[in-house]
Amino acid sequence: MAGWWHTSLLLFILLLLLFLHGEADVQVVNPMECPKPSPVPACSAFLYVVPRGHNASDTAARYSADASLVEPIRRPSGATDFLVAVPCACDAAGNATALFHDTVYPVQPHDTATGITYVVFSGLAWRVPENITEFVTITVRLPCGCSAASVVSYAVQSGDTLTSISDLLDSDVEAITAMNPELTPNPDYLNPGQLLFVPMGVHGSPPPPPPPPRKGTAAFMSERPVTFSLEEVDRATASFHDSRKIGEGGYGRVYLGILGTQVADFGLAKLVEQSDEDWCFATRLVGTPGYLPPESVRELQMSTKSDVFAFGVVLAELVTGDRALIPDKKEACKMRSLVTAMKEVSPSDDPNAALEEIIDRNLDHVYPMEEVRKVSIPWLGAMLALFL
């Protein structure tokens, strides 16, 4: 009887090991590729973590994350897991470059590569080495993703379908399939432990707004300011972690945060009625005289170079303290462009003296002249080369 019991136990252990080995083979992960390695995070991403009894603080420590950015998420079964926000950076991966979040892990007694991958790190670890030594700290690479939407790294659990995953993470089956090309041949076939990138929050997204009206309407439009919640800023800067700090001065500390949106667009090319070509031909001029280059005013022709010129006008306003259009001292009833005043600096025998003549008097000479020259003269040369 005892012999039969031992034989059955050994068989059970063997089958369990085979199952675990097979599960490890399932994880054919293709990390999301990126252009070139950079120490600066490309975005903020999410990891789907099964806590296995650990609280948010312990989970954050294990994943080198901030505990305030660990959010609970409830599965239909009633179990509570975690979404962990982490910085996602481009790094070397074999012969390619891909997006990862790295953390460290002290190897415990009886740990295996499979156990570290699937139990300790919820199926998210990438290529944990087989030969590991107890009590040695190793670096664990966790594939992550960047996209227009927040991307969650998710290891498939038993009973999952693409529909259940999309419902859990407010995603869309087609969007998940598009982000994971290996699903295309058979999207209904998922293996437990398979790592997927899931774009979160794309389910039921409203359609893009219609294009602005073309000819026959006034095209002067101002875009609404882009605003971010404190939670978004906190997440993007990892709660203002020192690793995100890029400078400090009298204005305070400056932190790098990737918010996944275009913050500024000077965009004066939008102020004319335009076609889809790189150069825009307007039927009439509808905004901001003084910020447009002469050719654009005369020929009603706009391009991105016009935006460069307009930015230069703003720079000239900062240096001189004047507006883009100023009264002409020679002809009282006329206005002249601030650019013409800046033009007078370039051909002068003494550019520094000429520049000093047009600098804002309110500064009362309390400024480093060399720094003003460095800012003004190169821009003026570029402006002259572009348009004048």
* pLDDT tens string 292-334: 666 555 555 566 666 777 777 787 788 888 877 777 767 666 6
Radius of gyration for the alpha carbons in the chain, expressed in angstroms and rounded: 30
User: What is the signed CA dihedral for 223, 224, 225, 230, rounded to 10 degrees?
Assistant: -150
Question: What is the predicted pLDDT for the residue at 289?
Answer: 60
pLDDT(287) > 60: no
CA angle 154, 155, 157 (to 5 degrees): 120
- What's the mean pLDDT when you consider all of the chain? 75
Query: Which residue has better confidence, 204 or 72?
Result: 72
Residue 11: HSE in the Cβ half-sphere, 13 Å Cα cutoff:
6
| pLDDT (tens digit per residue) in 128-164 | 999 999 999 999 999 999 998 899 999 999 999 999 9
Residue 111 pLDDT class (50, 70, 90 cuts):
very high
Mean pLDDT of the region 30-54: 92
In the chain, where the domains are located: 25-264, 265-386
Question: What is the predicted pLDDT for the residue at 322?
Answer: 81
Q: Are 256 and 40 in contact (CB under 8 A)?
A: yes
Q: Are 341 and 323 in contact (CB under 8 A)?
A: no
pLDDT(358) > 60: yes
Please state whether the predicted TM-score (pTM) of the whole model is above 0.75: no
What is the maximum span of the chain, computed from C-alpha positions, in angstroms? Answer: 116
- Tell me how far the alpha carbon of residue 213 is from its chain's centroid: 30
Q: Where are the beta strands (DSSP E) in 134-183?
A: 137-143, 150-155
Q: Are 142 and 125 in contact (CB under 8 A)?
A: yes
Question: What is the predicted pLDDT for the residue at 8?
Answer: 40
CA 120/CA 75 separation, integer angstroms: 20
CA 35/CA 16 separation, integer angstroms: 41
Question: What is the predicted pLDDT for the residue at 245?
Answer: 66
CATH fit for domain 265-386, picks 3.20.20.105, 1.25.40.10, 3.40.50.1820, 1.10.510.10: 1.10.510.10
Question: What is the predicted pLDDT for the residue at 310?
Answer: 76
Q: How far, in Å, are 19, 134, 293 from residue 113 at the CA level?
A: 14, 12, 64
Phi first, then psi: what are they for 284, rounded to 5°? -160, 160
| pLDDT (tens digit per residue) in 159-203 | 999 999 999 999 999 999 999 999 988 888 899 999 999 999 876
pLDDT(374) > 60: yes
Mean pLDDT of the region 224-237: 67
